[in-house]
Chain A
């Protein structure tokens, strides 16, 4: 299968800091992806104000964690790490009790309430933020 598409996919705009996490994106836009993926949306950045601007995130799997078919995402700056974790877990169809961790610089886990916009400012390069994710049992 070909590499991930050029255009970044957008996470649903819900404020997913708490609660169930993002719902599936509406299927109104045409998509070349298999049905399990979110819809493709053209372009990455929105022309809206800074607070609404999205940042590009590249997700990389660590260890035995399943690799996401779509690795590049456009995400709102205010999305929290917890929100991103919920999204990835849903995307990978992990059960709620499985733990997923996200890392910057491959080794540091930002706290769940940290916003991706801040991480992008601190650790982003070449116009994107690289995040590693790992499924593991941390407790017990």
Chain B
């Protein structure tokens, strides 16, 4: 049964869950590590993923990245010893490794998905908001830092109740609408979550492999 969202359809929680399910299907195919989690006491759920980032700028998400290695950022020569795939997350010579945890949660008040995340060093020490702002990708830094408090803030995770950083969602509807509209005409397999995450993710260190783009557009 094909699913397509009407142009003015309300992006409700069910729609959110559907797109997440499709997204996770593809994640499983390529070993990208996303999972769906439900809270114990209600039907709420969210998508999450953990990955490790090395400070020199390389991105490491999973030992078995070789399958889609070409779509990840190229490894730089900061790591001196040649690495097996199995050793990719261990670093003898690297300077700093940060563990990121990303959660995609539905916001009832904004009726859009929201990206929650937290980050810590390997010794468990969490990153502060200031550290996060410093690590925002150059591409977005200027605009983000113009109003940092409007963009990345620290809030309580709506399901877990723990403090997380959040990318503020008040403009999500605004920037997703033209993409959604233009894509509707030609792309029957448009995935709102894929599209949205590809846009906001890179600002905070989350880069989706290119195969998600293909998965979202294939006629199946």
Q: Residues of A at under 8 Å CB distance from B? A: 18, 62-65, 82, 85, 96-99, 101, 103-114, 118-119, 122-123, 132, 134, 136-140
Q: Which of A63, A65, A108, A140 contacts B168 (CB 8 A)?
A: A140
Q: Is B83 an interface residue (CB 8 A)?
A: no
- Give every chain B residue within 8 A of A63 (Cβ-Cβ): 177-178, 181-182
Summarize B's interface: helix, strand, loop or mixed: helix
* A140–B150 touching, CB < 8 Å: yes
Cα(A82)–Cα(B35), bound, Å: 30
What are 29 A-B contacts with C-beta separation under 8 Å? A62-B179, A63-B177, A63-B178, A82-B138, A85-B139, A96-B143, A98-B143, A104-B210, A104-B213, A105-B217, A107-B180, A107-B213, A107-B216, A107-B217, A108-B198, A108-B213, A109-B198, A109-B202, A110-B198, A111-B202, A111-B207, A112-B139, A113-B207, A122-B214, A138-B140, A139-B150, A139-B168, A140-B151, A140-B171
B202:A123 contact, CB within 8 angstroms: no
Residue in B170, B171, B178, B210 whose beta carbon sits within 8 Å of that of A62 in the complex = B178
Task: Count residues of chain B with CB under 8 A from any CB of chain A.
Answer: 47
Kindly state whether residue B4 has any CB partner on chain A within 8 Å.
no
Query: Is B174 on the interface with A (CB-CB < 8 A)?
Result: yes
**Complex contacts, B147 vs chain A, CB 8 Å:** 139-140
Interface residue B137 (Cβ < 8 Å from any Cβ of A): yes
Determine if B194 is an interface residue (Cβ-Cβ < 8 Å): yes
Instruction: Please judge, given known A-B contacts A122-B210, A123-B213, whether A103 and B168 are in contact too, CB under 8 Å.
Output: no
Query: Complex formed: what's the CA distance from A108 to B176 in Å?
Result: 11
* Contacts A18-B138, A138-B199, A140-B147 given; does A105 touch B179 at CB 8 Å: no
When each residue 204-215 of chain B gets 1 if its CB lies under 8 Å from chain A and 0 otherwise, what string results? 000110101110
Given contacts A118-B70, A139-B144, contact A134 B175 (CB under 8 A): yes
Docked CA distance A129–B46 (Å): 34
Does the CB pair A108–B175 fall under 8 Å? no
B186–A106 CB distance below 8 A: yes
Whether B200 lies near A138 (C-beta < 8 A) is: yes
4 shortest A-B CB distances, which residue pairs? A63-B178, A108-B213, A111-B207, A136-B175
Q: Is B187 an interface residue (CB 8 A)?
A: yes
- For B190, list chain A residues within 8 Å (CB): 107
Does residue B146 face the partner (Cβ distance < 8 Å to A)? yes
- Give the contacting residue for B170; candidates A104, A109, A132, A140; CB below 8 A: A140
Chain B residues whose C-beta falls within 8 Å of the C-beta of A82 in the assembled complex? 138-139
A104 to B212, CA, bound (A): 11
Out of B70, B143, B171, B194, name the residue touching A107 (CB < 8 Å): B194
Q: Considering the chains assembled together, what is the distance between the CA atoms of A62 and B182 in angstroms?
A: 7
